[in-house]
Amino acid sequence: MDGLPQYVQMLQKGLVGVDAKTGRFLWRYDKTVSKYGANIPSPVAHANRVFSAGAGTGGGLVQLTRQDQTVTAQPLYFSPKLPTAIGGAVRVGDFLYGTTGQAMLCVRFDTGDIQWEERALGAASICCADGRLYLHAESGEVGLVEPTPEAYREVGRFTPDLPSRSNAMEKAWAYPVVAHGRLYIRDLDRLWCYDVRKSPAPPSSTP
């Protein structure tokens, strides 16, 4: 940020920034600390602004400003209605995509305005790859969603052969991973790998 490299992380007592060269503490924002004492979603940073969230509390954005070696975090917005699920959120263009305990949301990153909200797969872990949003729901379902602020557009959905669960807290919390055209999904003691490369276009039949 403005020539000052830093690490940004959500810790037990809030979102913090640390000088990457010296380890010196720079700033803290604690409005989004989870009321359950478990700060799980990773922060999302872009252009001197950082979004953070905590389950049962809400999500918020701060603007970082540097004055010599001092950095301050100015709150821009906060709302309990923003994505707070442990599956995190991703920024695509000007918009943030993530889930709450009940629904998926598209939010304008700079203002916090909700563009749309859809029940979808409920709470889910999310990643973006190749212009797609991959969701791994706590139920174990997997969904593919188009990242657009216009409306919720689900491209596909399926449920792997799920493992048996011994109690209600054994949920699918592992993040989906996409690498080299393959989608990796993990749930308890199982790991699946799917080929998600786009199929080549069929040969032209024009004479």
Q: Where are the domains of the chain?
A: 6-160
User: Is residue 21 predicted with pLDDT exceeding 70?
Assistant: yes
What whole-number percentage of the chain has pLDDT above 70? 96
Q: Domain 6-160 belongs to what topology? A: Methylamine Dehydrogenase; Chain H (2.130.10)
Residue with the two structure tokens 């203002």: 111
Residue 90 pLDDT greater than 90, yes or no: yes
Between β-strands 142-146 and 89-92, what pairing exists: parallel, antiparallel or unpaired? Answer: unpaired
- The mean pLDDT of the chain is 94
What pLDDT score does 1 carry? Answer: 80
Give me the mean pLDDT over the 39-67 stretch: 95
Q: Quote the strand ranges of 140-179, DSSP E.
A: 142-146, 153-158, 177-179
Contact 118, 143 (CB under 8 A): no
Q: Which pLDDT score is estimated for 205?
A: 61
In the chain, the percentage of residues whose pLDDT exceeds 90 is: 86
> What are the pLDDT digits (tens) for 138-167?
999 999 999 999 999 999 999 999 999 999
